[in-house]
Amino acid sequence: MKITEVRVNLTANKDDRLKAFCSMTIDGEFVVRDIKIIEGTDGHFAAMPSRKMSSNCERCGGKNHLKAKYCNYCGKALTGSRDRKDFKGRMRLYADVAHPINAKCRTEIQDRLIAAFKEEVEKSKQPGYKPVELDTPEEDVPQIV
């Protein structure tokens, strides 16, 4: 695996722990978007894209996030037994959309993303800085109409 491109979009709120969103291109052919750069107690780290876990309402079948008390569709009170536990017995509220399989891969990805983040922070200090567009379509990718 070769990371061929990293794009970093810095967040506006400097007091927040979330510092940036990134997209990463692998082998010039596969893109992973919505990777977050977060400031932790031991420095910055990369959080892979994830989605909120949900369950269906018993009455109408509508999807609701796990912490919802009432159905977003029919208003019925939702039961507390909808939670899913992880291997440590904690409630799983999010599921990864994409993630590395082993520690070596995670380290490689995180090191590259953090380096790109630091470069973007330095660029942002220059006069006339323009933020990177993460969702700009590639020129050679055919657009579906």
Helix H or strand E encompassing 19:
strand 18-26
Q: Same structural domain for residues 43 and 58?
A: no
Number of domains in the chain: 2
The answer to whether residue 140 is domain-embedded is no
The answer to whether residue 25 is domain-embedded is yes
Q: Same structural domain for residues 71 and 88?
A: yes
Find the domain containing 19 and state its range. Answer: 3-49+97-124
pLDDT tens by residue, the chain, 145 residues: 899 999 999 998 877 999 999 999 999 999 999 999 999 999 999 999 998 888 888 889 899 888 888 999 999 998 766 666 777 877 778 888 999 999 999 999 999 999 999 999 999 999 988 887 776 655 544 445 4
**Calculated CA dihedral for residues 90, 86, 78, 69, nearest 10 degrees:** 50
The answer to whether residue 132 is domain-embedded is no
Q: Same structural domain for residues 89 and 101?
A: no
pLDDT value at position 58? Answer: 85
Q: Same structural domain for residues 91 and 66?
A: yes
pLDDT value at position 143? Answer: 47
Q: Give the three-class secondary structure for 94.
A: strand
